[in-house]
Amino acid sequence: MLRAAAEATRLRMLALCAEGELTVTEITEILDMTQPAVSRHLKILTEAGLLIRFREGAWVFHRLADSGEANRLAVWLLNSTDTNEHVLRRDAERLGEVRAHRAAEAEAYFRANAKTWDAIRSLHVDEAELEARLLRLAPKTTVGDYLDIGVGAGRILELFAPFASRAAGLDISREMLALARDRIAAAGLTHCSVRHGNLYAAPFDDSQFDLITAHQVLHFLDNPAKAIFEVARLLKPGGTAILVDFAPHNLDQLRHNHAHRRLGFASSEVARWTHDAGLVLFDEDSLPGNPLTVSIWRTRKPISADHTPT
């Protein structure tokens, strides 16, 4: 592992992959190197165990090893580097540019499709059947505060708001928020509000919500694990989060036509993220579709402090 990391370019790659999952193309763009050279260095880091490589459709992602000796060594090496060194600082700036470009593409997609959002969703999954399944998971008694992350056009907020004393929706797209406001006003949900904000740093206090939903949001994100950590921050001890997204699939066209960053999630991946965030995954379900299957994960924030984020 030390031999693999003991080269300047590979140390730069470790620093980049520590910030989130990146494709070969993105690393190539950031480092301004040829793709074969980047692939060769990534292969060495992966074979040494310092990076994890996984394929989704036509894309291959790389991220820092997330456990064990390799993770401890990689973290120690990165903590020992000078992040103000001009090459690493430039890499971080270029990484920011890549992420900004991704965000702009996603925002343009949402803006172009805001008025037909529900229709687009219906192409991928039977929404009526999914909503019925979700309603069976709704609280049996009224909860205090409820938040829908990535509120979109507001349909999930509309479904769950009647089970809460106060309800809020969060989204980065102002066009989506306008639709959500129209929907909750038409439904007479006067105890609801929507907020503009980044779901990685939501404009709410720690431990504020009894219930959080995130419906078909994670696959748009470059760092879904970070979003789950934010969910954990927002949940009250004893609170529940319901995560809904696609199971792994190979419809690569969803990246290009609908701005999907990830092609679904395995339950083992979601379980690891929730555990690392200090949450307990206590239930999972699936709704088979053609061709996409929707997965539903329920997770809870422990009341005791025994299970802390890693």
Structure tokens at 207: 């431990």
pLDDT confidence tier of residue 207, bands split at 50, 70 and 90: very high
CA distances from 114 to 109, 167, 177, 178 (A): 8, 22, 9, 9
CA distances from 44 to 41, 66, 72 (A): 5, 17, 18
**pTM higher than 0.85:** no
Domains and CATH numbers, the chain: 2-81 (1.10.10.10), 116-300 (3.40.50.150)
Angle at 274 between CA 164 and CA 15, to 5 degrees: 130
Using an 8 Å Cβ cutoff, are 275 and 302 in contact? Answer: no
| 136 pLDDT above the threshold of 80 | yes
The whole-number pLDDT of residue 107 equals 65
User: Which tokens go with 109?
Assistant: 């997609």
Residue 120 to residues 75, 132, 150, 255, Cα–Cα distance (Å): 41, 19, 16, 14
Contacts of 267 (CB under 8 A, 6+ apart): 284, 295, 297
**pLDDT, tens digit, 9 for 90 and up, residues 43-70:** 999 999 999 887 756 778 788 887 789 9
- 150-161 as b/e: b if 16+ CB within 10 A: bbbbbbbbbbbb
- Specify which residues 193 forms β-bridges with: 168
Read off the pLDDT of residues 229-247 as tens digits, 9 standing for 90 and up: 999 999 999 999 999 999 9
More confident residue, 199 or 291: 199
pLDDT tens digit string along 145-166?
A: 999 999 988 999 999 999 999 8
Q: What is the pLDDT of residues 252-306, one digit of tens each?
A: 888 877 778 899 999 999 999 999 999 999 999 998 877 888 999 999 999 975 5
